[in-house]
Amino acid sequence: MNEKLLRPDEPLLNEMSRPGNRGYTLPPLDVPEVAPESALPPAALRQQAAALPEVNEPAVVRHFTRISSMNFHVDRGFYPLGSCTMKYNPKVNDEQAGRPGFRALHPLTPVEGAQGALALMDALAGALSRIVGLPHVTLQPAAGAQGELVGMLVTRAYHVDRGDARRRVLIPDSAHGTNPASVALAGYETVTVPSGQDGLVDLDAFRKLMGADVAAVMLTNPNTLGIFERQVEEIARITHASGALLYLDGANLNALLGIARPGDMGFDITHMNLHKTFSTPHGGGGPGAGPVAVTDALEPYLPAPRIVRDGSGFRLDENRPKSIGSVHSFYGNFGILVRAMSYIRMLGADGLAAIGEGAILNANYLKKRLSGVLEEAPPGPCMHEFVLNGSKLKEKGVRTLDVAKRLLDFDMYAPTIYFPLIVPEAIMIEPTESESLASLDRFAEVLRAIVEEAGSDPETTHTAPHRTPVSRLDEGKAARELRLTWKDLPKSG
């Protein structure tokens, strides 16, 4: 992209509307025309035609093609968004989800007519259970964050059921913001555990904070600095000795696939982000899935209904007196579950292990290639992602935000920035296993060139991006003044 080929002033469909334009063609009618007022009650009759845009098919296709290319996506280029595992989503997943038997299945279909879908969900739950080494899985939660909330509600139900209402949940300071949010939503108080110089949980501080009123410890492993919490077995021992549960934020499961299992490390609960580890679509707030796996002791509290195998078939068991209740309409986002199952079946056990190894290899290769460009936080080998510290660059007046914006000019997405919070001017890079050596090399060269340019020509970095449809936006305004409707949309009758 040399110029701004894509313009930000793409009109909305409503603005392109011209009376009489049609985007559909009906087959010759074989039913007689009926006047609406003779078939419908007056309350159901419109006084005015609906204010729908009148646009022809080529205009609609071109409009959506243009706006889809304005945004960046994983089908377009490198997307090293740390902690988000933006891996390529194989198209075979979409083919499977698009099969008529899956796509056209109505959620209210009686279970006798939905045996195939239930069998698929049962098989997926079984596969996830084997992958994480915990025996029971619910597929209902719609995202990782909702999985965390389910995990915390299950924790609460478990303790309350034992007559042992507890108050606090311990979370390391490197954790994702959704962890304390889920804890607070479940009615617990968050206590922050500091990390040591090595980026791992400070075990002495952890021991001191542990107590009989701790309901759970929420750990991310590998943690958000991209390093494996080697002390996990000791943390599990201390946690269990005081009667608390050990929760894994499984967002970084990609690094463990086929190599290590959370259940074997002593975790009682974990959520999985299917849109990260299992290559289902990501972002845009679209439907996702954050299944939760638990031990035998916690199974009674999982969301209802549960899929159970009865004789030769499956049914949905609603009779779950200890359950925290349903957390999603019907049984979650089914199309996403089909895609995840397709990915798992395509790879098999060996293929999944190769994913974990590939993710770790790519991250370490890239980290090495970037050596000397920005300070490593912390130095040394990493798991599937790593964090750099942009403080030295900030001393020259160029911030991590500027570097991230400049990367967009090279048609690659910016890594996660300013997270984890414990690293100043953080840049968090997760290349994933689906990147080629060539794309890793190109990213390393571009980042190195940007850091050099920041020294010689800081103005270019400060004012980047220069080649995207829009440049620096007020990023808070969109969240504070959310407008999702067309401003002049006339009221329809």
Ligand X SMILES: Cc1ncc(COP(=O)(O)O)c(C=O)c1O
* Mutual angle of helices 437-456 and 334-369, in 10-degree steps: 60
| Residue-wise DSSP of 434-452 | T--HHHHHHHHHHHHHHHH
Any contact of residue 256 with ligand X (CB under 6 A)? no
The strand pair at 189-193 and 313-317 is best described as unpaired
Q: Which is nearer to ligand X, 125 or 145 (CB)?
A: 145
**Binding to ligand X by residue 84, rule CB under 6 A?**
yes
> With binding defined as CB under 6 A, does residue 273 bind ligand X?
yes
Please pick, from the candidates 144, 263, 303, 465, the single residue that binds ligand X as defined by CB under 6 A.
144
Part of the chain binding ligand X (CB under 6 A), chosen from 41-49, 142-150, 313-321, 480-488: 142-150
DSSP state of 111: G
| CA dist., res. 456 & res. 343, Å (int) | 46
User: Looking at beta carbons only, is 84 or 429 nearer to ligand X?
Assistant: 84
131 touches ligand X (CB under 6 A): no
Map tokens 């090279």 to a residue: 410
**Applying CB under 6 A, does 289 fall inside the site for ligand X?**
no
Q: Which tokens hold the place of 44?
A: 């159901």
Chain residues 208-227 in contact with ligand X, contact rule CB under 6 A: 220, 224
Among 138, 140, 178, 195, binds ligand X (CB under 6 A): 178
| Residue 143 is a binding residue for ligand X (CB under 6 A) | yes
Nearer to ligand X, 400 or 416 (CB): 416
Give min distance, CB of 83 to ligand X, in A: 3
Nearest to 427 by CA among 391, 461, 390: 390
How far is residue 481's CA from residue 86's CA, in Å, rounded to a whole number? 28
Nearest C-alpha neighbor of 249 from the set 201, 295, 182, 325: 182
Q: Kindly indicate which of the ranges 50-58, 139-147, 155-163, 470-478 contains the residues binding ligand X, using the contact rule CB under 6 A.
A: 139-147
Indicate which single residue of 249, 299, 385, 402 sits in contact with ligand X (rule: CB under 6 A): 249
Amino acid residing at 205: A
Q: Cβ distance 70 to 33 under 8 Å?
A: no
Q: Mask: binding to ligand X, 392-431, rule CB under 6 A, as x and -?
A: ----------------------------------------
Q: Is 209 left (phi over 0), alpha (psi -120 to 50) or beta?
A: alpha
Residue nearest to ligand X (CB): 144
Q: Could you list the residues that contact ligand X (CB under 6 A)? A: 83-84, 143-145, 176, 178, 220, 224, 249, 251, 273, 288, 290
